[in-house]
Amino acid sequence: MFERGIEIKTPAQIEIMRRAGLVVGKTLELLRHSAAAGMTTGELDAIAHDNIRSLGATSNFLGYHGFTGVICTSVNDEVVHGIPGARVLNDGDIISIDCGAIVDGWHGDAAITVAIGEVPAEVTELMRVTEESMWRGIAAASLGGRVSDISHAIETYIEGEGDYGIVEGYTGHGIGTAMHQPPNVPNYGRPGRGPKLVKGLALAVEPMVSLGTADSRTLADDWTVVTADGTWAAHFEHSFTLTDQGTWILTALDGGEAKLEELGIPFGGR
């Protein structure tokens, strides 16, 4: 059912989205432990493809507007949408791995950023701030609130942590029978705006944060987004929904229970 262009899911449909979310979460955990110096991004993609298939799901990235991977692999100054291929990971790199899957027509979408070996402390901190901002954004979402409550919480957290660039021009999004649906979920903005947060809404929250500028550009491959100033960027993403009980992270292996408890947010999953 759609209300003003926003897809409202039944509890049964959310259950299927949870299955898709678990495929994504499990695949990302496998990739987190697989990523190593000397490996190519194409090899990571092959691992992801095998895993998604073996879990009985299909990829929503592969063939998306002609995309050739089942994951996006964005290394160092690459922000998002990097194409897996011959690039070799080196000790000291960071890589954003964005993954999606479809189960019975319902989509999941999430991303992590992983360090390959040792990285400078400021890069570790960039990754921590980016991931935490995603959680703070999700934690700011409650039934009856508005989409930009999430945006504002992400921005407020990042700005409180130091001098970072919140990459402009890319947002989180609604998710359901398609990977990208209305509404957009910006990573900054004033609270109390945008569509109401209601039961049956599912949103992907995905801050992209750099050590420098908020500006980016797209490489000649027409996909890879890099920071305009060459500083490194991190990217984390989860898909979540709100139930009467609380918040449910559809792409987290534990449904988000542990982290939500730490943030004092009721767990809405099962």
Cβ nearer to Mg ion, comparing 155 with 237: 237
CA-wise closest residue to 164 among 82, 259, 73, 79: 79
Q: How far is the CB of 174 from Mg ion (least distance, A)?
A: 10
Beta carbon of residue 173, minimum distance to Mg ion (angstroms, whole number): 6
**Regarding beta strands 106-115 and 247-249, do their DSSP bridges make them parallel or antiparallel, or are they unpaired?**
unpaired
Of the pair 98, 132, the CB lying nearest Mg ion is at: 98
Residues making contact with Mg ion (CB under 5 A) = 98, 109, 111, 204, 237
In the complex, least distance from residue 20 CB atom to Mg ion, rounded to whole angstroms: 13
Within 10 angstroms of residue 2's Cβ, the number of other Cβ atoms is 11
Closest distance of CB 180 from Mg ion, Å: 7
| Greatest Cα pair distance in the chain | 49
Listed in order, strand segments (DSSP E) in the chain are 2-3, 6-7, 71-75, 78-80, 94-103, 106-115, 165-166, 172-174, 181-185, 202-205, 208-210, 216-218, 225-227, 233-235, 238-242, 247-249
A 10 A CB-CB count for 63 gives: 11
Residue with smaller CB distance to Mg ion, 175 or 197: 175
Q: Smallest distance from the beta carbon of 121 to Mg ion, in angstroms?
A: 27
Only one residue has tokens 């509890």, namely 11
Q: Which is nearer to Mg ion, 141 or 204 (CB)?
A: 204
